[in-house]
Structure 1
Amino acid sequence: MITQHLKPGLGHIKISKLQPAHLQEYYVQKLYNGKLDGSGLSATSVKHHHRLIFKALKDAVKWQLLSRNVAGAVSPPKTKKVEMHTWDHEQVITFLEVAKGSSYYPIYLTTIYTGMRRGEVLGLRWQDIDFDNLVISVRQSLQEVKKVGLTFKEPKSGKSRSITITPNLAKELKKLYKPQLEYKLLLGQDYHDFDLVFAQKNGKPIQPTEMARNYRKFVEISGLPYIRFHDLRHTHATLMLQQGIHPKVVSERLGHSTIGITMDTYTHVLPNMQKEAAQQFEQLIK
């Protein structure tokens, strides 16, 4: 963010000369053509720029390099919250039954059973799965970068996390190992060994766009209302909360930095939980 955006856009201005108008002009420019390909950045991305600038200037004030934080006089662009859609448990069962005909079925199953992000699932390695203790360690994520291609990075939270899995999911994942080993032996030096659980026949990472097309196809076949692939993660969290799983546990599985993020994200589930909790309390007191 600093190297590609802030330094080229604002680095020529002395910190003592920086004005709110400079920041406002910078935000507008980034919204218009801030990407490397000439298109504009999203309001969310520009908001991240604002937060970084604000924090840097706040430290400058604390260190007495500045008398005021000019970023406090500028409002970042407002972001539109993407509406969340999820499936209930019956719809999940329907989709998984239909998706068994897809080569990407184990990916869909893993996402629904763990709540992992798409990049985290596609970046999952065999070394990250403890089959004895039924635990997945999320240590890397697959990311598609323009003009670079597919690359691996740390999870979004910046640190690894552990997710307990079911014996059923572990069994499905184990099924992938033998045919993968056969391709590895068949291709020899032409096999690209990234130790990936979900990989192409030559070992290379699965193309997210290809998987997305396949996912949409099987949602259509199932006859279910369409939800984004990312909403499978939301579905996992919503179903767990509806079953009375403590939000702290759900937060840890999702990799949220705080339980507050989980509670804010899934407020739509809370009213029903409140009602059930009140009824259970009454049954306890009777």
Structure 2
Amino acid sequence: MLGLRKGEMLGLTWADVDLDAGELTIDRQLQRVGAELLHRETKTAASDATLPLPDICTVALDRRRAAQAVAQDAAGPAWQPSDLVFTTRYGRPVEPRNFNRFWDRRCDAAGVRRITVRDARRTCASLLADLDVHPRVAMQILRHAQFAITMEIYTVVSSAATRDALKRLGQTLDR
């Protein structure tokens, strides 16, 4: 829904999430660098933002918090304390490659074509375009430093949106 990068999502902490205010702050990411998983700043200042959470995200994050509490109880002393939103069943950070495998399994289970997390980010941009969201707003949601990245690489306009735009143009010119 928010077009988060994989590292941004895996690097979210509960301190970044304000369910009462309905906001999410993005300023860190989880990255594999060599043999280490590092929790560090996002790649650019333009990547940092506080975004409003759609209701569906607030509900999902609230459920995630409850599921994590159940996992912590089940893990008992094996639980590794962490403030990360997305962890393994033992509280450890999620390995980015393991997330890719989980993502693929979820696509298969849903019966949809496998896409990458980046494809989901592109889908976010394209859906925003179909909703006639101003391109600068889409750029802010995706946190791109350059407008061209949002419009030329991430946004694909659907055939339906194209037909609708041309129909509206035709109606305007017929007056």
Which category of TM-score, normalised to the shorter sequence, fits these structures? 0.7 to 0.9
Q: Percent identity?
A: 27
Q: 2:21 pairs with 127, 133, 139, which one? A: 133
Q: Which ranges in structure 1 are unaligned for 5 or more consecutive residues?
A: 1-112
The equivalent residue for 2:42 is 155
Aligned to 1:218: 106
* Distance (whole Å) between structure 2 residues aligned to residue 153 and residue 144 of structure 1: 11
3-state SS, counterpart of residue 137 of structure 1: strand
Larger proportion of strand: 2
Q: Residue 133 of structure 2 aligns with which residue?
A: 245
Cα distance in 1 between the residues matched to 2:113 and 2:74: 42
RMSD (Å) for aligned C-alpha atoms: 2.7
Residues 24 and 50, structure 2, Cα contact 8 Å, conserved in 1: yes
Q: Where does structure 2 lack aligned partners over 5 or more consecutive residues?
A: none
Structure of greater Rg: 1
Q: TM-score, normalised by structure 2?
A: 0.82
- Partner Cα separation in structure 2 for residue 208 and residue 256 of structure 1: 22
2:172 matches 1:172: no
Deviation at residue 281 of structure 1 after TM alignment: 4.2
Equivalences for residues 1-286 of structure 1 within 5 A:
113-147=1-35, 149-159=36-46, 160-181=48-69, 183=72, 187=76, 191-266=79-154, 268-269=156-157, 276-284=164-172, 286=175
8 A Cα contact 2:79 2:90, kept in partner: yes
Note closer, same or farther for the CA distance 1:257–1:270 as it changes in structure 2 (3 Å cut): farther
For the structure 1 residues 125 and 280, does the alpha-carbon distance in structure 2 shift closer, same or farther, using more than 3 Å as the test? Answer: same
Q: For 1:192 and 1:154, locate their aligned partners in 2 and report how far apart those are by CA, in whole Å.
A: 22
Q: Deviations over 1:148-196 (max 9, x none)?
A: x2111211223521222211210121122234345179746x5433311
SS in structure 1 at match of 2:45: coil
